[in-house]
Structure formats: C-alpha cells, structure tokens
Amino acid sequence: MEEVQRRALRRGRARLVSALRLAPLWDAMEERGLFTRPMLEELQSAGSRGEQARQLIIDLETRGKQAFPVFLSILRETGQGDLADMLTQECECPLVPPQLMDLQPVELDLRGEKQKKNVNVPERLSIPVQAESERPRMPPAPAQGSAADKRNRDLVYELKANPCGHCLILNNVNFSGDSDLSTRDGSDVDCEKLEKRFKALCFNVLTRRNLKAQEMVSELQKLARQDHSALDCCVVVILSHGCQTSHIQFPGGIYGTDGKPIPIEKIVNYFNGSHCPSLRGKPKLFFIQACGGEQRDRGFVMDYDSPSDEAPGGSLESDATPFQTLAGNADEPDAVACLPTPSDILVSYSTFPGFVSWREASTGSWYVETLDSVLEQYAHSENLLNMLLRVANAVSAKGKYKQIPGCFNFLRKEFFFKCK
C-alpha cells in the first residue's frame, strides 16, 4: 500500500470508526481476498463494533498494493460511498514533509557472515503474523535530527524519560526432568544480547533466569504493579519453550521450568489499562522467543536460489508440544473474560502459530540474533514496525527449514526507540 493511502486511512480513522457499517463488509472482504476467514474472525473478536472497525483500518495497511482500491470498491458496493469519497479526498491532499521527498529505499541483507553452521534446535512458540505482501520501502537514516522529530508528533509516541522504561527479561534454560522439556542451549546468548541492546536503548533492564510458571507470574505482576508514571513505555522479553493454547486475541502459551504453561494472553492482560493504570496510553512491547507447534516449514520454491545453511552432521530437533486447552487452570477463564481492548500493545512472536522456532547452541535463536542486529543498525532512524518487517524478511531467508516471525500490533502511533 502506498504511503499516501496509509495516511488517508489514518486521517480518516476517526470517521470510519464512528460510521463504518461492518456487517455488509465481512463476506465481501473475504470474497475479494482482502482478508482470510481466520483473519476476519480475529477482527470480529476485537470487541465492540467501533473496536473492530479501528483494528480493521489498522490491518488494512498490511494487505498489499490493491487493498486500498479494493476497500473503496467494497464501500461503494455496500452503500457506504460517502466514506469512500472521504478517503479519496484524503489521498488528494497528502502532507509529506519536504525533507522526506527524496528518500530512497534500502534493503537489509543479514544472510552473509552472520549465518553460522551450528546445530539448529527448534524452539517452541505460537505466533500470529501478517500475511505476506509487497516488500516495504524503507528510508535511510536522516542526516540530522531524530526520525521522530521529522514526523507528525500526534502519530509518534514520545520517549522523554531517562531511562524511558523498564525491560523485564525472563530467560528459561533448564527445565525439570518430569516436564519432558529439553535444555534451551543458546538461550543465554540471546539473553546477553538483549540485555546489552535494551540498555543501549535507554531501558532499565532486569533479568530473571529459570523460573517456574508461578514465579514468572509473580515477576510479571510485580512489574505491572510498579508506578510507571515517570516512565514512557515498558518492554517484556520471554525466552522459553512454548505451546498452542485456546485464546481470544493473543495466541500461544509460555512454559515455566516446571512444565506448566502460562497463556500469552494472560501475560499481556497484566499490563492493560485496567490492571496497570500508570501505563495507560503508553506503549507496552512484548518479544516472545518460543515455539508454537510441531510443524516444520520447508518453504516453497522461488525463482532464485535460497541459502541452505543446514548444520553439517547435525539433526534438527523439535521441542513442540500438542495443543493445550489449559482446562485445569482456574485463572484463565477470568483473564480472558475481563480482557479489554489491548490498546498501545505490540506482541512480536518469533514464528507462526503451529510451527517451530529455530535456535542454535552457539549463536542463539534466529529471531533474537536478527532482532538484535536490526535494532543495532536501524533503531536510530526507523520505527518499530518497519524494523520488525526487516526481521521477518531476514529470518524467512534462513535455513533448510523455514521460519517467519510476525506480530499482533495494537499500537496507536509510530514507535521510535530512544538511542544513547
């Protein structure tokens, strides 16, 4: 989707949220290929009509080159031509700062020397990702000043505090013998990288290692109960085994070292506006390195050669476990039932639901290695969503088996890290 079309959707979002009639749109959007049925079901579970409309407009930006004109056509076909006309008019009066007009796209290639020939060990996690669309155009770093200063401040989260927020890293490496979960070799490498990276991004970093499920819950609740009034955001990183679970908004579960799972939805819920008032309106970022199933993706054939960095003499192993209903967890129904609309939240997953997430003993996981590299190169100039696209693109090019990271994005504004 062109930037002028994205900008039109953002400018017209308030009117669309208040006036959009969704019922006639669902079937038409599926028939025209804008969204798949599972995507539409996720949108319909977002809450009230207004909340569904808001998330629909946000997700439209990820649906490719033809998404905007197709959406306008559907609006007119369903008797909502006035909204289509409004969006068309917004496209005709773009507000592009002059200093951004000459920017050219740059490409990220992380397939060079960083690909070590180590034994690949699948993680396990569950993740939702955006459907594949055209390759995004990324601007180079601006010559002077921060990127956020060059954009509309109403659409950018401001990070003024120093430190700008807390970063909690939960790193589970060794699991109890009766859990049937293997040791996560390479996770300490991931943890060390992210500790250094988030400290460089002006966060107060706290790391906890090898926690049981209830101990993980206690650490998360302790962080959520702190007073974040003087801070601007919050980051939670979880490095562990994972599984699929029943969910409404955020799929997947994370294992404690005792083999007991915690729903990611429950983890996110600790930090929503109801349970953590001092973070209301502030970005809350979650980075999940784990697996979500047993499937191994061999990818599909492209017109060009894909790198094959299968580990020599090594066999690929899977940590994944079957789908968990968590019927014995008395806390889950209440957590799901009271979950409000998750505004100002982004959950980044290392892999697609149902698929393994690969980790190498000496260099760590593909996802964290790539995330750290992208943050190092681009955090000073690009917003978080652009960088996560770079991560997905680079990780998807790795290995004999394939992996594609993705995210659930409920941020209301662009997020730029604060760099030292």
Per-residue pLDDT reduced to its tens digit, 38-54: 788 878 887 788 888 88
pLDDT (0 to 100) of residue 412:
92
Under CATH, to which class is 121-134+146-299+307-410 assigned? alpha beta
One-letter-per-residue 3-state SS of the chain: CCHHHHHHHHHCHHHHHHHCCCCCHHHHHHHCCCCCHHHHHHHHCCCCHHHHHHHHHHHHCCCCCCHHHHHHHHHHHCCCHHHHHHHHHHHCCCCCCHHHCCCCCECCCCCCCCCCCCCEEECCCCCCCCCCCCCCCECCCCCCCCCHHHCCHHHECCCCCCCCEEEEEEECCCCCHHHCCCCCCCHHHHHHHHHHHHHHCCEEEEEEECCCHHHHHHHHHHHHHCCCCCCCEEEEEEECCEECECCCCCCCEEECCCCCEEEHHHHHHCCCCCCCHHHCCCCEEEEEECCCCCECECCCCCCCCCCCCCCCCCCCCCCCCCCECCCCCCHHHHHHHCCCCCCCEEEEECCCCCECCEEECCCEEHHHHHHHHHHHHHCCCCCHHHHHHHHHHHHHCCCCCECCCEEEEECCCECCCCCC
74: pLDDT strictly greater than 80 = yes
- Give yes or no for a contact between 283 and 374, defined as CB atoms under 8 angstroms apart: no
Q: Active-site residues: which are they? A: 241, 291
Q: What is the pLDDT of residues 325-353, one digit of tens each?
A: 443 333 333 333 333 456 899 999 998 76
pLDDT score at 232: 97
- Give the distance from CA 332 to its chain's centroid: 22
Mean pLDDT of 169-185: 92
The model's confidence at residue 125, banded by pLDDT at 50, 70 and 90, is: very low
- pLDDT recorded at residue 271: 94
Residue 320: the pLDDT is 43
Query: Using 50, 70 and 90 to split pLDDT, how confident is the model at 324?
Result: very low
Q: What whole-number percentage of the chain has pLDDT above 70?
A: 72
Domain ranges of the chain: 3-91, 121-134+146-299+307-410
Q: How does residue 292 score in pLDDT terms, banded at 50, 70 and 90? A: low
**pLDDT score, position 43:** 83
Answer CATH for 3-91 from 2.40.50.100, 3.40.50.150, 1.10.533.10, 2.40.160.60: 1.10.533.10
Burial class (CB in 10 A: 0-12, 13-18, 19+), 236: buried
Q: In the prediction, which pLDDT does 330 show?
A: 31
